[in-house]
Amino acid sequence: MFSGKIIQNQSNRNGINRIWMVILSILGIMVCLVVLLPQVTQLIVRLVEQFIQKELYWHQMWLKILPLIAITGICFFLFNMKQELKDCLFEINFRSFLKPVLILSGVYLLGTLTIMRANFTYLDDCWRNVDGLRLWYKWSRYIVEFISIVIHGDTKMTDISPLPQLLSIIILSVSSVLLVYVISDRKLTIVRVLASIPLGLAPFFLECFSYKYDAPYMALSIFVCIIPFLFVARKKAFLFCSVISVLSMCMIYQAASGIYPLIVMILSFQDWNSRKKPNKEILSFMGMAALAFCCAMLFFKIFLIIPQDDWGHYIVATMLPLPDILSGTLNNIKEYAITINHDLGAIWKIWIAFVLLFFITKSISKSAQKKWVAFIISLLLIGISFVLSYGLYAALVKPLFALRAFLGFGVFLSILCIYVVSDYKKIASVMVFALNWCLLVFAFSYGNALADQARYGEFRTGILLHDLSALYPDRSEKDFQIQLENSIDYAPSVKNISKHYPVIERLVPRRLGAEIYRDDFYYWVYNNFEIKLHNDPVDFNTLDLPVVLDSYYHTIKSNGTYCLVILKH
């Protein structure tokens, strides 16, 4: 009787396996057709459009995303991840996350309160407020396109702040707790959790937080990079999750590309320094992580990325040519280091220096290796981790040096702080909390500076719009074009903060500045005055335009067709 049941169960299992083999074969053929023959993908998209009797808004995005969906499904069934993923998740005590997440949410909310209160329309927010468009798919950020529809409840976007910032706070809090959980061998303490504050309150992520539309997605890019390390105990699950997470990061915000290898480095160092694992196992882990990262990046580059050599005239998102990759990368890293050194205030540098000193001291004192070897390796780790914090931007022809591109540096600081306070001297914790206190205080100053700059900018812009309206009351003039020279200067409070924190001048945008011509000018002048934007490369200073108005704040030169506005500081 029992043998008959066993035979029947075996027969059923074989039948199920055959069904799965057929399904995988069909999916494999589909993937080959989709990947190798783009015409097939286009045919599928057209059929869907005919069925719903509507053109898909993100036509080019669908051409990229369909192969990814098919291949992800195949990988999942091919590696049979279900049980391994369940086992890993079952071992995690998610209830232990609740209190730390609530504590960090309170800290992040407190630190960003003045930023939300300032209600500053930040750079890209300007044209999104006017047009209601997303256009993230142009930067290959397909996941953001989908999630933004859910968050905004419509395909057209409107300003729903502070909801995106609140979502960003929650995501950052969970990310910080997970980072502590991963680095501290699943040991969550209040001290370690508070040590992770630089992840969200470093001045570099404060710019990310300032975007009313983009903030939650920038935070999400950090979150997905940490997720794979919850499954590090299961090799196949870790490999699969790593590929999916890195791909997701690429389709959310590529500036976070250095976070995954950054965590790999610190985990490998901890295992090596304590001799918790043999060197062979550590190398195997690093090799697996490198394989997953490279495979995900190659797949993104070959099949998913939408090539754009010039992203807004401030970044050339093309990899350096092979002959120049070493020298070019070194130059980019040098520029990255110089920029961070310029941005950080003197007091921050002092506390960071102490954190680095305690990191090296702890690495040596707690090491199971030879002390001089531990010293050298800890120095190398700091240097390599700093480079990795910039991610793949270091290998671009013209990388982005805006503050939001440095979000990996905040994660780098968080990792150092978490490591330093974990079961070490109390004086080390004092140094870490001194740094975090300075970051928290600066966040308050930054939010208030945004509010002051907004009031000053609106005052100056209002005067300019009034003068333009008085000079040219007929707004139907189609050929009328405006060109700006200079920009509205910083408010006095911003200038005062910049004496001690130079980064403030890169955080706070100047109204109507040439560097934000597309965003700010479009929002404040074009939308209010209803005139044609100037796209002519000719410098209006060469036209010898007559002065029609000269005031304390600006000079206006115009011949009725061309108008040059010279903003005074």
d(Cα 220, Cα 216) in Å, to the nearest integer? Answer: 6
Of the candidates 79, 103, 124, which is a domain's last residue? 79
524 falls within a domain: yes
- Amino acid making up residue 423: D
Place of tokens 């305690």: 358
d(Cα 161, Cα 173) in Å, to the nearest integer? Answer: 19
Co-location of 279 and 405 in the same domain? yes
90 falls within a domain: yes
Q: Are 408 and 258 in contact (CB under 8 A)?
A: yes
Co-location of 208 and 315 in the same domain? yes
pLDDT for the residue numbered 488: 86
Tell me the pTM. 0.86
Q: Which of 306, 309, 291 is nearest to 239 (CA)?
A: 291
474 falls within a domain: yes
Reported confidence tier of residue 126, pLDDT bands at 50, 70, 90: confident
- Amino acid making up residue 349: K
Co-location of 92 and 8 in the same domain? no
Average pLDDT over residues 104-124: 93
pLDDT for the residue numbered 424: 82
Least confident of 34-43, 79-88, 331-340, 409-418: 34-43
d(Cα 255, Cα 219) in Å, to the nearest integer? Answer: 11
Co-location of 182 and 330 in the same domain? yes
475-518 pLDDT, tens digit per residue, is 555 567 788 888 888 999 999 999 889 999 999 988 776 554 45
d(Cα 148, Cα 438) in Å, to the nearest integer? Answer: 33
Co-location of 486 and 354 in the same domain? no
d(Cα 11, Cα 393) in Å, to the nearest integer? Answer: 54
pLDDT for the residue numbered 471: 87
Average pLDDT over residues 185-196: 93
**What SS3 class is residue 485?**
strand
pLDDT at 140 over 60: yes
388-428 pLDDT, tens digit per residue, is 999 999 999 889 899 999 999 999 999 999 999 988 888 99
447 falls within a domain: no
Of the candidates 79, 102, 122, which is a domain's last residue? 79
Co-location of 348 and 369 in the same domain? yes
Co-location of 474 and 341 in the same domain? no
Which residue segment(s) compose the domain that 220 sits in? 83-424
Average pLDDT over residues 62-72: 57
Co-location of 28 and 89 in the same domain? no
pLDDT for the residue numbered 37: 46
Q: Which of 387, 386, 189, 183 is nearest to 274 (CA)?
A: 183
- Amino acid making up residue 350: I
454 falls within a domain: no
What does the DSSP assignment read for 257-302?
TTHHHHHHHHHHHHHHHHT-S-HHHHHHHHHHHHHHHHHHHHHIII
pLDDT at 244 over 60: yes
pLDDT for the residue numbered 351: 95
Read off the tokens for 549: 């108005």
Q: What is the mean pLDDT of the chain?
A: 83
314 falls within a domain: yes
Reported confidence tier of residue 287, pLDDT bands at 50, 70, 90: very high
DSSP state of 510: P
Q: Are 240 and 75 in contact (CB under 8 A)?
A: yes
Co-location of 260 and 181 in the same domain? yes
Co-location of 30 and 103 in the same domain? no
pLDDT at 56 over 50: yes
d(Cα 160, Cα 158) in Å, to the nearest integer? Answer: 6
- Exposed, middle or buried: residue 502 (CB in 10 Å: 0-12, 13-18, 19+)? middle
pLDDT at 17 over 70: no
pLDDT at 8 over 60: no
Of the candidates 424, 447, 474, which is a domain's last residue? 424
- Please tell me which residue, 32 or 307, carries the higher pLDDT value: 307
Q: Which of 228, 144, 214 is nearest to 179 (CA)?
A: 228
Place of tokens 């998209």: 45
Least confident of 78-92, 321-335, 437-451: 78-92
d(Cα 528, Cα 144) in Å, to the nearest integer? Answer: 30
Least confident of 267-276, 282-291, 481-490: 481-490
For residue 496, the Cα-to-chain-centroid distance in whole angstroms is 29
Beta bridge partners of 139: none
Read off the tokens for 454: 């907004």
How many domains does one find in the chain?
3
448 falls within a domain: no
Instruction: Give the chain's radius of gyration (CA, Å).
Output: 27
pLDDT for the residue numbered 69: 59
d(Cα 258, Cα 379) in Å, to the nearest integer? Answer: 19
Co-location of 324 and 341 in the same domain? yes
435 falls within a domain: no
550 Rama sector, left if φ>0, alpha if ψ -120 to 50, beta otherwise:
beta
- Exposed, middle or buried: residue 173 (CB in 10 Å: 0-12, 13-18, 19+)? buried
Co-location of 357 and 400 in the same domain? yes
pLDDT at 533 over 60: no
Average pLDDT over residues 1-18: 51
Least confident of 204-218, 250-264, 458-472, 504-518: 504-518
- Please tell me which residue, 304 or 348, carries the higher pLDDT value: 348
d(Cα 450, Cα 455) in Å, to the nearest integer? Answer: 9
